[in-house]
Amino acid sequence: MNVHEAVQKRRSYRHLEKTELTGRDLDLLIQAARLAPSCFNNQPWRYIFITDQDKLREMHNVYSGGNEWIHGASLVIAVFSRKDDDCVVGSRDYYQFDTGLSVGQVLLQATELGLTAHPVAGFSPKKTREILNIPEEYDIITLIIVGKKAVGSPDEPPRPRKPVNEIIFNNRYNSI
């Protein structure tokens, strides 16, 4: 699969089933995260890969209502960062942008592996911090839920995308 195919195929499915992740799978996801570009190569992101079944069950306490589908995850990846670990140029803090670039690469690598990787905002950062022992100075950016699309689950069509002319402009901004 090439990058274009991974971009086209990537979906954040909500019907997951457990799947065995090999050491190679985990290593490829880790390498995708660590090789992402960042300001001055600061690599401000930090990841915790959660594969232990007891810890995955403990993480059930952090998810917002309606996110029970996450319980089918084979892997949960906590993503966190802090401003002090990356560039600040004027009023622009790059740590969240750079961490997002790293997450994007993880999502595409998971797609190439035949997995679904779904970043979520519906969780308690406070509970996550406590369960995973993440220091206070870090901002918890997201949790990435990783698994296989459940067999027999409905095909979820891609969510509609805005037309190109609403998001891409040539040479200057043109109001719509």
The reply to whether 176 falls in a domain is no
The reply to whether 123 falls in a domain is yes
- State how far the Cα of 18 lies from the Cα of 128, in Å rounded to an integer: 21
The reply to whether 48 falls in a domain is yes
- This prediction has a pTM of 0.91
The reply to whether 41 falls in a domain is yes
- Looking at residue 10, what is its pLDDT? 72
Is 175's pLDDT higher than 70?
A: no
The reply to whether 163 falls in a domain is yes
User: Given pLDDT bands bounded at 50, 70 and 90, which one contains residue 59?
Assistant: very high
Q: In terms of Cα–Cα distance, which of 11, 6, 17 is closest to 148?
A: 17
Residue range of the domain that includes 92: 3-167
- Residue 142, beta-bridge partner list: 79
The reply to whether 125 falls in a domain is yes
Query: Residue 19 maps to which CATH number?
Result: 3.40.109.10
The reply to whether 173 falls in a domain is no
Q: Would residue 114 be called left, alpha or beta, if left means φ above 0 and alpha means ψ between -120 and 50 degrees?
A: left
